[in-house]
């Protein structure tokens, strides 16, 4: 029974892996680019190598990536500015950004999902990206000081005003996602999720699969101190790195998964894209489950 189940999962996973994913009224390739790492250390300030950051963004598009994820808090403002410099006018690209977190220094993040701040953040992102409407605008994090429904209502109003095309959520619970769905269409959820971490959103991922909601895992490879031991055997079998296996597993794990690995290096970007060529078999999936 287990073997039959794994075979069914394998066929579904590998069929979806090489395809595309619908997010609201857009269709994107299933490996995107997360533009957090093109900023300075601690996601603060300008990148150490400006030209390399621009080259990474341009190379990502050359390699077929058509979904770029960013946020006003990355830098802050730096990531959006670099995306504009490198990729404007975004031909056949979906640019997703977020609002709801403020920055006070390297590694310091403070929620502010008040209606006033979200409006200011959205308007500033429109100007930096030089667009009239954001393809996908995501609430970066619910604010414990602000009623969740008030934050979502603000995004709905901005969508009705034509300044947002699609609404997504980040760092939410399943209960918050369901609450938001009673108010408006939610096309994506971005939560921490990776093969090497015990901190997952499996229940939310399964629900997104049932609902046809894109699931965008941040830290898709893992963060600092990640233990890759359980990936090593599979990586050795395929003669690739553990990070490539981590991405391949995400792609195989759910058809609504949209990994957004980020990097400040063209070489690392190209290595990440190699994950698309890895076909995991039933034994691999069993090892990684």
Q: What positions carry a catalytic annotation?
A: 74
SS3 content of the chain, % helix, strand, coil (to 5): 45, 15, 40
DSSP state letter for 142: -
- Name the H helices within the chain: 2-17, 50-62, 78-87, 115-129, 148-160, 174-181, 202-211, 229-238, 242-253, 266-273, 282-288
Contact 114, 121 (CB under 8 A): no
Dist CA 53 CA 272 (whole Å): 16
Dist CA 195 CA 228 (whole Å): 9
Dist CA 170 CA 242 (whole Å): 26
Contact 27, 20 (CB under 8 A): yes
Tokens of 81: 């500015």
Dist CA 179 CA 176 (whole Å): 5
Phi, psi of 192 (to 5 degrees): -65, 130
> By three-state DSSP, how is residue 84 classified?
helix
Dist CA 39 CA 53 (whole Å): 8
Give, to the nearest 10 degrees, the angle between helix 115-129 and helix 148-160.
Answer: 40
Dist CA 191 CA 209 (whole Å): 14
């Amino acid at each position: 029974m287990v073997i039959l189940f794994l075979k069914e999962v394998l066929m579904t996973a590998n069929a979806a892996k090489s395809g595309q994913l619908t997010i609201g009224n857009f269709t994107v390739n299933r490996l995107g680019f997360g533009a957090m790492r093109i900023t300075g250390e601690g996601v603060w300030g300008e990148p150490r190598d400006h030209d390399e950051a621009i080259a990474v963004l341009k190379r990502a598009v050359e390699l077929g990536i058509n979904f770029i994820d960013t946020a006003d808090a990355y830098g802050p403002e730096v990531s959006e500015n670099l995306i504009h410099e490198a990729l404007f006018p975004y031909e056949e690209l979906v640019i997703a950004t977020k609002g709801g977190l403020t920055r006070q220094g390297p590694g310091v993040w403070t929620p502010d999902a008040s209606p006033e701040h979200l409006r200011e953040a959205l308007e500033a992102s429109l100007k930096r990206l030089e667009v009239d409407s954001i393809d996908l605008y995501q609430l970066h994090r619910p604010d414990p000081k602000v009623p969740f429904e008030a934050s979502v209502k603000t995004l709905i109003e901005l969508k009705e005003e034509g300044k947002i095309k699609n609404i997504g959520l980040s760092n939410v619970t399943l209960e918050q996602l369901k609450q938001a769905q009673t108010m408006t269409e939610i096309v994506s959820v971005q939560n921490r999720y990776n093969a090497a971490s015990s901190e997952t959103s499996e229940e939310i991922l399964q629900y997104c699969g049932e609902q046809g909601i894109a699931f965008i895992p941040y830290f898709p490879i893992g963060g600092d101190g990640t233990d890759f031991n359980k990936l090593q055997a599979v990586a050795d079998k395929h003669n690739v790195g553990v990070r490539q296996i981590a991405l391949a597993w995400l792609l195989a794990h759910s058809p609504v998964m949209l990994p957004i690995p980020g990097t400040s290096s063209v070489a690392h970007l190209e290595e990440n894209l190699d994950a698309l060529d890895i076909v995991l078999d039933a034994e691999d999936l069993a090892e990684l489950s």
